[in-house]
Structures are given as structure tokens and as C-alpha cells.
Amino acid sequence: MNPAKNIFPVLAASLILAVSSFAFAEEASAQTETKANEVRAAESAPDTAELLANIANFRTLRTKFVQTKHLKAFKKPMVLNGELCLDRPGKRFAWHVEKPLKYSCVIANGKLTQWDADSDKTVSVPFSKYPMLEMLSDAMTAFASGDVKALEKDFEAAAGRDGTVVLKPRSERFAASLITEVELTLDESKTKIVKVRASEKNGDVTELVYSDSVFDSDIPDALWQAKQKK
């Protein structure tokens, strides 16, 4: 099996996302109140650039996650539990699934490495062989950290008053053919992502919920290894 093809659904389901637009204000119920509503909306809507800059203001992230994927073709969703690690300066990303199966994907040092407990096999693919993987790695790091400067070439972002940010793929970019929208839910401080909801073109929806998140701490070397204890 081609490792590049095998990993793409995992990346898309975690944080390799794309996205859609967000409505800022409700439509006025009466013509005479339209102007007042517009003024109130302008006063309460946060500045998108400032909000996203605050989200991206960290060096490392280690967090537990629950991923729920609602497949259009199935009644019951697929649920995965595991741990995600992100090292922005080092351009490293680790995705460790613990339940219902043990699987790991690590992007670091110019290559992507996968491992699963069933086969106990480790497969590594260098970016030089599959240049698309480097693009996916950069995109995933940008999405996980909310780095708007890294995303603005391919996406448009809008901030809402309810602590959400919605990213929309530009129509001419490749991401627009895969995903319709990604919504990021922030914590009360509006600086940390607690939930990601991605809607795909095929009708599937993926939700990723973070818990026990730790920022700017040293991540153990063992978590940057694809092969984990069974």
C-alpha cells in the first residue's frame, strides 16, 4: 500500500483541514432596527487577525483527543482516542491513536513515519520522494497552531462573537475540492483551541475534541517515535 495515500485520511481527520465562511450578525427583524443591529454587531465582533495571532502564540502542544468521524455511508460514527503532539519551531507533529486500535504517525526530520500494533511494522517515507507530504505537514502545523499568516494563501478566516473561528478555502485552491468548512471552538480565554469540526465535500463530518492540553512544555522523546508500547 502506498504510505502517502494511506496517511492522507488521518491528516485530514486530525487537523489538515480546509473550511467555510462565518456569519457575524443576525438579520434585523424590522427595517427600522437594521442600523442599530449593525452597530452592535461591529462593536461585539472580535478582530480576526488579533484573535488568530493569540491562538498561535505557543511553542509546543501536547493534548489528549477524541476524534468522532460521522461517515455519510454509516449510521454509527467512528471514534478514536489518543494523544497529539505539536512542536512548532521543530516542525514536528505526532498523532498517537490508543483506542480502539494502536496506531501512530510522526512527521519529523523531513519524513513521515507510521506504525501500527497489529502488524508491528514501521514505515517511513521521505518528503523528497513524496513532496506532497511536506505541504501537508506545513498545513497541519498551521491549522493546529492557528497560524493565520501560514494559512492566508489558501484560506480565508472569520471570527465570530461566540468564541469560534471558521476557515474557508479559497475557491481556486486545492483544499476547496476536499473540504467545505472547518470550525474552531476556543476556550474562555479565546487563546486555546478546544474543538475542531471539519465538514468535507463528500458529506462526512469529523469532530476533534482536545482535553488535558499542555502548552510550552518539553515533550518526551518517546512521543516523537512512531513505534509505541503495545
CATH number, domain at 30?
2.50.20.10
In a domain, 95, yes or no: yes
Mean local confidence (pLDDT), 200-228: 90
In a domain, 200, yes or no: yes
Q: Kindly report the pTM of this predicted structure.
A: 0.73
3-state SS assignment for residue 203: coil
In a domain, 88, yes or no: yes
In a domain, 10, yes or no: yes
pLDDT-based confidence at 156, cuts 50/70/90?
confident
Question: Average pLDDT, whole number, for the chain?
Answer: 74
Cα–Cα distance measured from residue 35 to residue 167, given in angstroms and rounded to the nearest whole number: 27
In a domain, 211, yes or no: yes
In a domain, 229, yes or no: no
In a domain, 145, yes or no: yes
Q: For the chain, what is the domain count?
A: 1
Q: Say what the pLDDT of residue 98 is.
A: 93
The C-alpha angle 154, 175, 77, rounded to 5 degrees, equals 130
pLDDT-based confidence at 11, cuts 50/70/90?
very low
In a domain, 202, yes or no: yes
Domain range for 173 is 3-224
Q: Which residue has the cell 503532539?
A: 85
Which residues in 26-59 are b (16+ Cβ under 10 Å) and which e?
eeeeeeeeeeeeeeeeeeebbebeebbebbbebe
Q: Say what the pLDDT of residue 46 is.
A: 54
Mean local confidence (pLDDT), 153-158: 78
